[in-house]
Chains A and B, each alone.
Chain A
Amino acid sequence: MTAQQDIKADSWTVAGRTFSSRLIVGTGKYKSLEENAAAVEASGAEIVTVAVRRVNISDPNQPRLTDFIDPRKTTYLPNTAGCFTAEDAIRTLRLAREAGGWNLVKLEVLGEAKTLYPDMRETLRATDILVREGFEPMVYCVDDPIAAKQLEEAGAVAIMPLGAPIGSGLGIQNRVTIRLIVEGAGVPVLVDAGVGTASDAAQAMELGCDGVLMNTAIAEAKDPVLMARAMKAAVEAGRLAYLSGRMQKRRYADPSSPLAGLI
């Protein structure tokens, strides 16, 4: 089997929906909708996150995201980015469900503007309510194995811990907690936020994550379409490395050529 076939067969499932790409990309911060669509294409992503915002009534015929990224081909994952209370997030997602007609959503409830760190008390409360209303929330959270467990118990269909603050591009700051979350989770785990470059995405996958979600790392690259290709390759490489079972680390050297038969 070639590596390409391996990747194809290696799908993942969230809330009963199966995907072959393990990369989810955002649709914010692009220079144009054309560039955005080209980057999504190059990334191979089957899911994109989208925001819910007011229609501009004074100019309702502005170009729309849906004209460039077809929601029938790419799964739209409505996000509550910008919400600071459970109520705001729930209100946003009720509207999103009506606009899109599906229950799979991304919940994020932020605690403050400076760090955009999640408010876990509000996040957990919102998860509870959304699940009771029939939503299937994929939940952005802190990299805390206990909080992750609590979200799963509340009915989160995926756990999405941050690697570093949103939009920071600092890479995964705490590999230990991400690994602990992966080991303890019964639902998919995706690193969401903090990825800056391809090696960060590969690292998330090497830790055993089911996927990676990113926006700024691609959108703010000098060449977003090229970075989207890099991220696709990195997620696939990291996943294959995880599945292959890496070698043990040694404290000292170990020669690769046989010692026997030396002249």
Chain B
Amino acid sequence: MNSPTCLAIRVNGDAHRVTAGLNIAEMLIELGVDPAKVAVERNLEIVPRSTLGEVRVEDGDEFEIVHFVGGG
């Protein structure tokens, strides 16, 4: 059986499909997000910025992708 070409993941609460075999940095670029400007949580665990290019995206992963916005 061929491996699927897309993975089903959740990003910031919404369902997304991304290419299989990507690391998190590549996934962010595919989503149009600059990896240098965000912080990433994967399945409730912080992904250190230094390892974004190493950690593989797995089917069913849940991501929170955040950045700084105006606030009090």
* Known A51-B72, A60-B33, A79-B71; 17 more pairs at CB < 8 Å: A28-B71, A29-B70, A51-B68, A54-B66, A55-B67, A57-B12, A57-B32, A61-B32, A65-B68, A65-B69, A76-B68, A79-B72, A81-B72, A98-B48, A99-B37, A167-B72, A215-B71
Chain B interface SS verdict (over half)? strand
Specify which of A26, A30, A51 lies most central, judged by the most chain B CB atoms within 10 Å of its CB.
Answer: A51
Is B46 a contact of A27 with CB atoms below 8 Å?
Answer: no
Is B17 at the interface (CB under 8 A from chain A)? no
Is B55 at the interface (CB under 8 A from chain A)? no
Contact of A54 among B37, B49, B65 (CB under 8 A): B65
8 A Cβ contacts from A60-117 to B: 60-61, 64-66, 71, 76, 78-79, 81, 91, 94-96, 98-101
The 8 closest A-B pairs by CB, nearest first: A51-B71, A99-B39, A27-B70, A26-B72, A98-B39, A215-B72, A50-B68, A54-B12
Is B71 a contact of A50 with CB atoms below 8 Å?
Answer: yes
Q: Given the complex, which residues of B lie within 8 Å of A99, measured CB to CB?
A: 37-39, 66-68
Contact of A53 among B33, B49, B67 (CB under 8 A): B67
Bits for B37-72, please: 1 = Cβ < 8 Å to A, else 0. Answer: 111110000111100000000000000111111111
Is A95 a contact of B46 with CB atoms below 8 Å?
Answer: yes
Distance between Cα atoms of A71 and B12 in the complex (Å): 25
Contact A57/B11 with A66-B37, A98-B40 known, Cβ cut-off 8 Å:
yes
Is B31 a contact of A54 with CB atoms below 8 Å?
Answer: no
Nearest A residue to B44 via CB reads A91
Report the minimal beta-carbon distance from B18 to chain A, rounded to whole angstroms: 11
Q: Given the complex, which residues of A lie within 8 Å of B40, measured CB to CB?
A: 98
Contact A95/B31 with A26-B71, A26-B72 known, Cβ cut-off 8 Å:
no
Report the minimal beta-carbon distance from B71 to chain A, rounded to whole angstroms: 3
Is A95 a contact of B64 with CB atoms below 8 Å?
Answer: yes
Report the minimal beta-carbon distance from A44 to chain B, rounded to whole angstroms: 19
Q: Given the complex, which residues of B lie within 8 Å of A197, measured CB to CB?
A: none
Q: A: which residues have CB within 8 A of B?
A: 26-30, 33, 36, 49-55, 57, 60-61, 64-66, 71, 76, 78-79, 81, 91, 94-96, 98-101, 166-167, 215-216
Is B71 a contact of A95 with CB atoms below 8 Å?
Answer: no
Is A55 a contact of B16 with CB atoms below 8 Å?
Answer: no
Bits for B1-31, please: 1 = Cβ < 8 Å to A, else 0. Answer: 0000000000111101000000000000001
Nearest A residue to B69 via CB reads A53
Q: B: which residues have CB within 8 A of A?
A: 11-14, 16, 31-34, 37-41, 46-49, 64-72
Distance between Cα atoms of A51 and B31 in the complex (Å): 22
Contact A49/B71 with A55-B66, A95-B64 known, Cβ cut-off 8 Å:
yes
Nearest A residue to B40 via CB reads A98
Distance between Cα atoms of A81 and B40 in the complex (Å): 19
Distance between Cα atoms of A194 and B64 in the complex (Å): 32
Q: Given the complex, which residues of B lie within 8 Å of A101, measured CB to CB?
A: 49
Nearest A residue to B33 via CB reads A60
Is A81 a contact of B71 with CB atoms below 8 Å?
Answer: yes
Is A64 a contact of B71 with CB atoms below 8 Å?
Answer: no
Report the minimal beta-carbon distance from A92 to chain B, rounded to whole angstroms: 8
